[in-house]
Structures are given as C-alpha cells and as structure tokens.
Amino acid sequence: MSQKQKRLLKEYAENFLYIIPAILLVTVMIYIPFVMSGYYSLTEWNGISKAPKFVGFSNFQTLFSSKGEFMNSLWFTTKYTFGFTLFSNVLALALAVALTKKFKLANFFRGIFFIPYIMSMTIVGFIWQFIFTQGFSKLADITGWGFWNFSFLGDPKLAFYSVVFVGIWQQLGFYIVLYIAGLQAVPADVLEAATVDGATGWQRFSKVTLPLLGPSFTTCIFMSLTNALKVFDIILALTKGGPGGSTYSVTLQIYKDAFTNNRYGMGSAESIVYFLFVLIVTQAVLKLFSTKEVDL
C-alpha cells in the first residue's frame, strides 16, 4: 500500500470516528423512538403496562372518523399555519422595507421589534393572557369603548384570531431581520441601472427587489411554516385549547392524548400521521419557492 493510500485510509478512519457520536445520538434520540412510535401506533397502551394490546389500524380509523378530535385539531392547525405564514411575512417585509430607510431611530425600532422574539413563547402567552383578560378591561373602563370588553379568549372565533395575533407578534422581529438582510444584499448598481432606465420607485421594488429577495422569501416562509405547524406553548399558555376545544392544535392534541389521557397508542398514531402531513406540506412549499428564486 502506497503512502497516499495509507494517508487517505487514515483520513477516512478519522472522519468515521468523528461522526460516530453524532450517528449514535441521532439514532438513539430520533430514529429508534420513531420506529417505536410506529409500533405503538398499532397498539392500545397506557404507557404503564408491560404488554401493549395490539389493535392493528384501529387507532388510525378512529383518527379519521367524524367523531375524532384529531381532524378538528388538524383543521385548526391548517388555518393557523395559513394565517400566521401569510401575515407574518407580509408585515415583516413591509416593516423591513421601512426600517432599511435612513432615519435616526431605525436601529432603535429594529431592536424594539426583535425583543419579543428573544422572550419565551410560554411567557409571551401568559403576558397576553393577562392583557386580554385584565388589561383590555381596564382600557374599556378608561376609554368607554365596548370593543375592549370583547371576550378575546372566550369566543371561539376571536380566540383563533387572538392566538394568531400573539404568534405573529412574538415571531415578527426574527423575520424582519431576515428580510432586512435580504434587502441590504440587493446590489445597488442594479437598482441604479433600473433608475437610469426610467423605472419608478414601485417598479424598482416590484420588478427588481422582490425577485432578488427569492432566497429570503424561501427561508422566511419555510421557517414561519414550520414554526406554525409545531405551535404548542402559546396555545397552552393562552387558551389551553379552549374555549370548547376550538383552539386545539395537533401538537396539543397529541400531548393531551398521550400524557393526559394516557392513550400512548393513539398519541403515537396521531404523531405518525402528522409527521407525514408536515413532511408533504413543507417539501411542497420549499420546492415551490426554491424554483422561483432568481440568481444574479
């Protein structure tokens, strides 16, 4: 064996030894639990008994039945994801455009918008629960406006919009930062060339800036989509799934079935179905936006 071959063999061995801990950790923490979850989804198990009862696809039939709560939680999560992804990106882009303008308090406002993002989502949920239940009632007493006395967390329709609003409020600063980075990366000479060609401000933004923001759009929409699909702590802190189960997300439904009702088989079946749902949605959205990116 030549010296070059020995050196290459040594490098391969070292690389393999370096990745062994990562492979073991991922296998133990992700792959093995995933396989076990697939097995438990075919059983009726309370998490305590040593011998789970095999029931086949009975759990999956219950999930998709008209009486199942899973479909309601899936519908709520879909609505929440659509509203959160749409409005968080529209607002973040609009504010990013405003905050890239040169004025004295630009950096101050960037920091103000980013502060909620560094706070725990559970803490944010409790803060807004206090605001919705007590803060707004004080405003109603001061202003006399009946609007503030609406039951923002007690009415099913208003509770949905309240949860979406709090989620956007907490995450908005992060997407603003990403869009600001994308806007600052747009080449100035391209914008100058568009100006020389007679393009108006709106034409420069819509025909030049927006297409060049393709990577930022892909990143922000993908991240907002995944964050919305796994929403849990804000709902737990704000409404606990109420009123009447109208704000149960899929993740909260899985938590309730598995850890509150001790139906680990049902919880495992829900997690398997939701995993496939999230996989299909995220890959489709990622593929859609990645094909629309523009390269300089």
DSSP labels, 262-273: --HHHHHHHHHH
Question: Does residue 211 form part of some domain?
Answer: yes
Q: 3-state class of 43 per DSSP? A: strand
Is 6 part of any domain? no
Distance CA 157, CA 76 (A): 11
Residue 119 CA to residue 3 CA, distance in Å, equals: 56
- Cα separation, 230 vs 249, in Å, equals 8
Rounded CA separation 189/191 (Å): 5
Specify the number of domains making up the chain: 1
For the chain, how many helices (H) and strands (E)? 15, 2
- Domain annotation covers residue 26: no
Range of the domain at 241: 61-290
Tens-binned pLDDT, residue by residue, of the chain (296 aa): 677 777 888 888 888 888 898 999 999 999 999 999 999 999 998 888 888 899 989 999 888 876 668 888 999 999 999 999 999 999 999 999 999 888 888 888 888 999 999 988 888 989 999 999 888 888 888 888 877 888 888 888 899 999 999 999 999 999 999 999 999 988 888 888 888 888 888 888 888 888 888 888 889 999 999 999 999 989 988 988 888 888 999 999 999 998 888 899 999 999 999 999 999 999 898 888 777 665 55
What is the spatial distance between Cα 288 and Cα 224, in angstroms, rounded to a whole number?
15
Q: Is residue 44 part of a domain?
A: no
Q: What CATH number has the domain bearing residue 199?
A: 1.10.3720.10
Stated length of the chain = 296
Q: Does residue 41 lie within any of the structural domains?
A: no
Asked, for residue 37, whether it belongs to a domain, the answer is no
Q: Is 52 a domain residue? A: no
User: Does residue 100 lie in a domain region?
Assistant: yes
Q: Where are the beta strands (DSSP E) in the chain?
A: 43-44, 53-54
